[in-house]
Chain A
C-alpha cells in the first residue's frame, strides 16, 4: 500500500480522525474526506450520534458530489461531536479524535477529525462544517488552515442540520492554496439549497487586505501565551506592510448568548425527526405507544450534550420565552452585522486569536463545566452568527502546540481572506508533526 494510505490508516487508528475509510485508494484522484454529518453514498452518515447508527444515505451532499465530479476520491468520514454539539470533539459516539501534536490533547470541535486528517495527511483536503466555530476551532488546535465561507456560499444539501441559519460547509488543509483550489469547486448556487442561490459570483481573484482591525474586546480573557503569540503575529503583519488598528466592537459580548439561543432553538427542531422511524437506530419494542417508543429511542440514542441542547432550545421556543430569548437573539444578530459593517468601512478584515487557549488536555476538559466549554467559542461565534467568512491560520507555536489566528471579512469576500492567508504563509512557516506510522 501507498505511503498516503499508511498515513490515512495512522490517522484513523492512532488519532481516531475517521469513523470509516475506504479499503482501496485511487491514485489517479485527489483525496478528500467529509465530516460525518455530510451525506455520501457508500458510507454511513451518523453525525457523531448513535441515534443514526446504520444510516446509509441514498444521496450525496452537494459539496461531496462536486468534489467527486472534480476528480476527487472520498477516502473517509471524519469524527465529530454529536451533531456538531461541542468544542473539543469529546461528545462523539464514534470515537474522540486525538490531537496530531499531542494525543493527550483535543483536536477541537466539532470538526475535530477533519482537523486531524488535514494535519496528518499532506495534500489532503477535509470538508468541515461550522455552526459556531467548528472549522476555526479544530484548525487552530490542529495547526492547519480552516476556511469557513459566507453563509449561503456552499450548498448545505446533504448536510445533517445543526442550526440551519448558521451551518456552513468549509475546508481544512495544510495550506491556503490547497483550500483555495477546492473552495472554487464546492462554492456556487445549488437549487437544492435555496439559501445558496442568492450569492454573487466568485471574483477571479481576491484583494489582499491592507488594513486589519483588532477589536479590543476580543483580547480579554486570553491565555497569556496566546495573547503574546497573537501580538507577535500582528507585528509580523505590520512588517509585511499591513496596517493594524485597534477598534471597539462592544456588541461582541452579546454574540455568545444569542448564538446559543438561536443554534439550540433550531437544533431542537432539527433533532425532532430522530424518533426511530424511517432511518437510524431502532432497537425499541414496536408494540407500544408512539410517545413511549420515540422517547425510548431518543433516551438511548442521544448523548448528554444533545439532550442538553434539545432542552435549552425547546425552552427558548416556549410561549413566554420566545420573544424574550429567540426573537431578541435574532435582533442581536442584526445588531452585530451592523457593527461589523461599521468596521469594514475603514478596514478590510477583523483579526483575533481563534481560540483563547491552545488545545487543552483531555483531563482539563473533563473538569470544565458546560458553560466554560461554551465560553471557549467566544472568538469564533461572532463571525458565525453574522454569517461572515473567516479563516484560521497557524500564527505561533506555544510549547509545541499551534496557536491559531482568525481573520473575518465582509460577506462573500472569502478570496480576500485566502489572499491574506497566502501572504501570511510566505512570512510564517507552518510546522506539522513528524509521523512515523
Chain B
C-alpha cells in the first residue's frame, strides 16, 4: 500500500499572511480588511513571520531551499475565496526534496509551501432551503502545506506520521495545540496501479478512517479482478465512507500565473540564518547518543515536557545518567506540577547529588523530593523528620554525653548509634556522623 499526504497547518502568527488583520477568533467578519476581502485596489504584503516559520519547517525537514521564491495565483471561483484566486506557491515552493524520519524509516517530503486560507461557509436551515453565510475571518490566515512522497504504508502509519510531525512542528515554531484535530489533509492512496485522492479530510481520526475505508474498498475491487479508477473522492464524516467527488480539475487547470504584486523574495540568507529550535524527537536522539539512555526512555522524557528534559540534562551534569533517569521519570515527573517551578531546581539537583554521593540514602532523598513537592510521607510524619532535632533532643536528655565528649570524641558514637536507630535508616551514616559532630562541637 502506498500513501502520500498533503497536509495543511495554520502557522502561528499574530496577523494574517498578507494583511495586518489579527488571526485570533472573533465574531464573524470582524477580523477583515480590504486586503483579505479582496476589495478592488487592495494588495497583499507578505508577513515576514509567516515566511520565517515556513522556512524553519522547510529547513527542519531538510528540504532544498532555493535562493529566490515567488508566489502564484491559483484561479477558481468559490464564494469563500474573496479574489476568486488563491495566493499560493506553485513553481516556486519554499522547500523541495526533504525527508522526515519516522521510527527510523525515511519518509520523503516533496515540497513545503505557503498559502492563504479561504474563508468559511456556514449553511443554516433545512435541506433545500438552506441559507449560506460566508465568514471571511479565516480568509488570509497563513497556512503551510507539506506534501509527502507516497512512502507511507498503512493508515495507522499515516496517522502516526502526522502525530509525530505535529509534535515536532509544535515545538519548532509553535503550531497550535489542536493541530491533530484541525489538520486538513488530502491523501493519495493506491493498492494497485491507480491512485485515488481523498480530499479535504479534517483531523487525524478521520484521516485514519478514510484511509482504512479506501484501503478496503480498493482491495475488494482488486480481489474481484476489477480496476481502481483514478479519481478524487470525498470522505463523509457521518457515514465514514468515501465517495466519488466527480471533479475533473487537475492542478494545471487552475491557470497558474505569478503573483505580480508580491515580486520575488530572496530567502537563501534568511533561511541559513534561522536559529532552529531542537525539536523533541531530535532531542530524544541526542539524549540516546550523548547519555546512552534507552530510546523509549528518551522519547518518554521529551514528550512529557521540554522543561523536564532540561532538568534531566542538568542532573546529568552532576550524576550518572541512569540515576538522572530514575529520578526524573520517577518522583520528579510524578510531582511535576509543583516541581516544574525552576526556583526549586537547585534544591532538586542538590538532593539527587547528595543521594548519588551517598551523603543521604535513597529513602531520605525521595522524602526530601516529595517534601519539596509538598507531599509528606507517612513514615516521615511518625518519628519526626528533623535530624538535628533528633540529635539535640538526645543530647538534651543525656548531658553526660557532652561531658564524655569533651574528654573523648569517641563518645559521639553513643549519639550516632541512637540516632541511626531512631531514624530507621532514613539518613545515611555519613550524614548522621556529620550532623552529630556539628551539634556536639557547637555545644562544647
Contacts and interface: CB of A to CB of B under 8 A. Distances in A.
Contact of B41 (A160, A191, A265): A160
Contact of B40 (A39, A314, A322): A39
A192 B41 contact: no
A55 interface: yes
29 contacts: A59-B41, A59-B42, A159-B41, A161-B40, A161-B43, A164-B43, A164-B260, A164-B261, A165-B258, A192-B45, A194-B43, A194-B44, A194-B46, A194-B263, A265-B257, A269-B255, A272-B84, A273-B82, A273-B83, A273-B84, A275-B77, A279-B39, A290-B78, A314-B255, A319-B252, A319-B255, A322-B252, A322-B255, A326-B257
A294 interface: yes
Contact of A269 (B34, B75, B134): B75
Interface in B112-163: 134
Closest 7 pairs (CB-CB, A-B): A317-B255, A319-B252, A272-B84, A165-B260, A164-B260, A160-B40, A158-B41
B37 interface: yes
Interface in B53-75: 73, 75
A28 interface: no
Contacts of B250: 319
Interface string A132-156: 0000000000000000000000001
A164 B85 CA distance: 14
Interface in B21-53: 34, 37-46
Contacts of B255: 268-269, 314, 317-319, 322
Given A273-B84, A275-B84, A278-B38, 8 more contacts: A39-B41, A58-B34, A161-B40, A161-B41, A163-B260, A194-B46, A275-B77, A277-B79
B262 A194 contact: yes
A278 B82 contact: yes
B115 to A, nearest CB: 15
A237 interface: no
A256 interface: no
A269 B257 contact: yes
Interface of A: 37-39, 45, 47, 52, 55, 57-59, 61, 156-161, 163-165, 191-195, 198, 265-266, 268-269, 272-273, 275, 277-279, 290-291, 294, 314, 317-319, 322, 326
Contacts of A198: 263
Q: Chain A's interface: helix, strand, loop or mixed, by majority?
A: loop
Given A193-B261, A194-B46, A266-B257, A45 B41 contact: yes
B41 A193 contact: no
Contacts of B396: none
Interface residues of B, number: 32
Contacts of B110: none
A195 B84 contact: no
Q: Chain B's interface: helix, strand, loop or mixed, by majority?
A: loop
Nearest to B263: A195
Contacts of B262: 194
A188 to B, nearest CB: 16
Contacts of A59: 34, 41-42
A146 B255 CA distance: 35
B185 to A, nearest CB: 25
Nearest to B252: A319
A314 to B, nearest CB: 6
B75 A291 contact: no
A205 to B, nearest CB: 29
Contacts of B261: 156, 164, 193-195
A272 B85 contact: yes
Contact of B260 (A38, A266, A279, A326): A266
Nearest to B73: A269
Nearest to A49: B40
A36 to B, nearest CB: 11
B19 to A, nearest CB: 10
A45 B40 contact: yes
Chain B CB within 10 Å, residue with most, of A159, A165, A273, A277:
A273
A209 B250 CA distance: 53
A233 B45 CA distance: 45
Given A45-B40, A52-B40, A279-B40, A317 B77 contact: no
Contacts of A193: 43, 45, 261
A268 to B, nearest CB: 8
Nearest to A290: B79
B45 A191 contact: yes
